[in-house]
């Protein structure tokens, strides 16, 4: 039976609202509507090694929130294409080259308004992504998205280390940062990262189903980004 994001939201609202100070968001699939572009690029990269196109697309979405190099190496292992694993770095370059054919991916509806309102409420915004930091900074600048920290995976792989980086950026212990943080992601791996770090897990159903997000650890489900404002004081 489908899970209602609105019903999850109402259940949450019956209790006290958390004092959220830091909002962590994934980028692709949450702010920027680029997952279909990335899925096609992923399929193009791995189908040469015997991975069926349909299976490649499903794997990419099911592992959403994972750095691309781990997604590529993971599916190559799954399909016993071990001889190609030494090519992962080259395949990552090829992936981004294919995706770059679409240099101006659109924002999801409501993103600009929501970011502006969050900043107006005094929230600190952190972007975590498996993409490259410099490219993300350019995208955020072009779209006038005022984030305090933007971190890709070219230097620090997305995951627990990103959470530690954010805490250091704000000069507070990680446990205190996490206690006042909300993590909004569109993929199962986003929910696992949030759960592992004891950050409030909020899944948005732009990429995978509510069921998959809940199974991965999401405590709250929303259908569009504007609903995240209802978690704020």
Residue 6 in this model has a pLDDT that exceeds 80: no
Domain span holding position 224: 5-33+107-231
Beta bridge partners of 182: 23, 200
Residue 10 in this model has a pLDDT that exceeds 80: no
Average pLDDT over residues 21-44: 95
Domain boundary (47, 65, 99) is at: 99
- CATH classification of the domain holding 198: 3.40.50.1000
Average pLDDT over residues 94-115: 92
Domain boundary (57, 76, 99) is at: 99
Domain boundary (51, 70, 99) is at: 99
Task: Say whether both 212 and 127 belong to one domain.
Answer: yes
Classify residue 107 as left (phi > 0), alpha (psi -120 to 50) or beta.
beta
- Predicted TM-score (pTM) of the model is 0.85
Q: What kind and span of H or E run contains 119?
A: helix 111-120
Q: How many domains does the chain have?
A: 2
Residues 6+ away with beta carbon under 8 Å from 48: none
Task: Say whether both 25 and 66 belong to one domain.
Answer: no
Residues 6+ away with beta carbon under 8 Å from 127: 24, 25, 26, 27, 31, 136, 140, 147, 149, 150, 151
- Give residue-wise pLDDT tens across range 199-211: 999 999 999 999 9
Question: How far is 169 from 191, CA to CA, in rounded Å?
Answer: 22
Task: Say whether both 173 and 192 belong to one domain.
Answer: yes
């Amino acid at each position: 039976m489908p899970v209602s994001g609105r019903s999850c939201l109402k259940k949450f609202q019956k209790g006290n609202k958390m004092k959220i100070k830091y909002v962590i968001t994934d980028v692709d699939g949450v702010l920027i509507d680029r997952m279909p572009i990335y899925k096609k690029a992923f399929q193009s990269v791995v189908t040469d090694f015997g991975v069926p196109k349909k299976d490649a697309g499903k794997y990419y979405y099911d592992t959403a929130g994972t750095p691309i190099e781990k997604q590529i190496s993971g599916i190559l292992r799954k399909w016993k294409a071990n001889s190609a694993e030494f090519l992962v770095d080259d395949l990552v370059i090829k992936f981004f080259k294919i995706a770059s054919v679409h240099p101006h991916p659109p924002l999801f509806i409501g993103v600009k308004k929501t970011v502006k309102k969050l900043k107006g409420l005094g929230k600190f915004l952190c972007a975590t992504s498996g993409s490259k930091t410099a490219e993300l900074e350019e995208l955020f600048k072009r779209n006038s998205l005022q984030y305090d920290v933007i971190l890709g995976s070219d230097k620090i792989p997305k995951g627990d280390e990103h959470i530690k980086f954010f805490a250091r950026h704000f000069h507070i212990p990680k446990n205190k940062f996490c206690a006042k943080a909300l993590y909004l992601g569109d993929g199962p791996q986003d929910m696992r990262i949030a759960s592992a770090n004891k950050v409030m897990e909020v899944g948005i159903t732009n990429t995978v189903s509510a069921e998959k997000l809940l199974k991965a650890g999401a405590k709250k489900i929303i259908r569009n980004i504007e609903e995240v404002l209802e978690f704020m004081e």
